[in-house]
Amino acid sequence: MTENTANGANTASTASTPFVPAPASPYQGDIARYWDEEARPVNLRLGDVDGLYHHHYGVGDIDHSALGKPGAGDYERKLIAELHRLESAQTDVLLDHLGPRRVEDLLADAGCGRGGSMVMAHQRFRCRVEGVTLSAKQADFANRRARELGIQERVQARVCNMLDMPFETGQVSASWNNESSMYVDLHDLFAEHSRILAPGGRYVTITGCWNPRYGQPSKWVSQINAHFECNIHSRREYLRAMADNRLVPQTIIDLTGATLPYWELRATSSLVTGIEDAFINSYKDGSFQYLLIAADRV
């Protein structure tokens, strides 16, 4: 059953994004407040590198030649730039799996944060991209960046519930969750993606999930849940909920090894938040996985 909330309709050209006064549940109200109040340097300083503000992690090998020598006067600046390169590389991996897109397509970013992935999607495909978030602060930020880039007619964020997105049935050509699916029930989430996607449409998620082969969520996964006030799902839950909602996986990629260098580098930076060891240890002991799943709506 899909939960409902006021959509707070807006356009990207408005000066301010409306606040949703009553999210669908008390928990979602907590999440809206959490992200409205969030201002971690690890999210903002990385985005300041080139104006793409993400809320996810990175993949790929470290370019040590770009870092220079530890202790040099510009080493920290170069380290931050390298972390940002890796998180933008993660978005590129997600966009690669959306497949070819047409200019007339509508794409949907469920849990869009400050809009970095939306901007990159528009820059690649030139099509219209709309994102949803419970956080009015994030949506305001994303819409302001779209105006600054002159793409406000093609890229916009709305304040609403990803379980009740403001799209007509079958209106969307491709949609995604980039590290945002751990805040909702997966069956409700995938039912909504299945509703908004046209038949043959593509859905992609990149997410952290606990490994069923480990037996139960590990202490590291529990620490991550507590830190971000989320509820990490298992790999099995993703596949089961997709199957129940007409989303047929075409590609599953284990990105755990590809994301570990990002975390090990971040743990040496001035931007540590205290959660780095939980990610590193859980990836290494196999209790936590970083997955990409691309599925088609049938």
Per-residue pLDDT of the chain (298 residues; tens, 9 = 90+): 333 333 333 333 334 454 554 556 888 888 888 899 888 888 899 999 999 999 999 999 999 999 999 888 899 999 999 999 999 999 999 999 999 999 999 999 999 999 999 999 999 999 999 999 999 999 999 999 999 999 999 999 999 999 999 999 999 999 999 999 999 999 999 999 999 999 999 999 999 999 999 999 999 999 999 999 999 999 999 999 999 999 999 999 999 999 999 999 999 999 999 999 999 999 999 999 999 999 999 9
Residue 22 corresponds to which tokens in the numbers above?
């009553």
| Closest to 172 (Cα-Cα) out of 114, 110, 120, 119 | 110
List the domain boundaries for the chain: 26-297
| Closest to 124 (Cα-Cα) out of 94, 165, 150 | 94
Name the pTM for this structure.
0.91
Distance, in Å, from the CA atom of 18 to the CA atom of 136, rounded to the nearest integer, reads 7
| Closest to 204 (Cα-Cα) out of 175, 181, 180 | 175
With beta carbons less than 8 A apart as the criterion, state whether 20 and 159 touch: yes
With beta carbons less than 8 A apart as the criterion, state whether 259 and 283 touch: yes
26-297 domain in CATH 3.40.50.720?
no
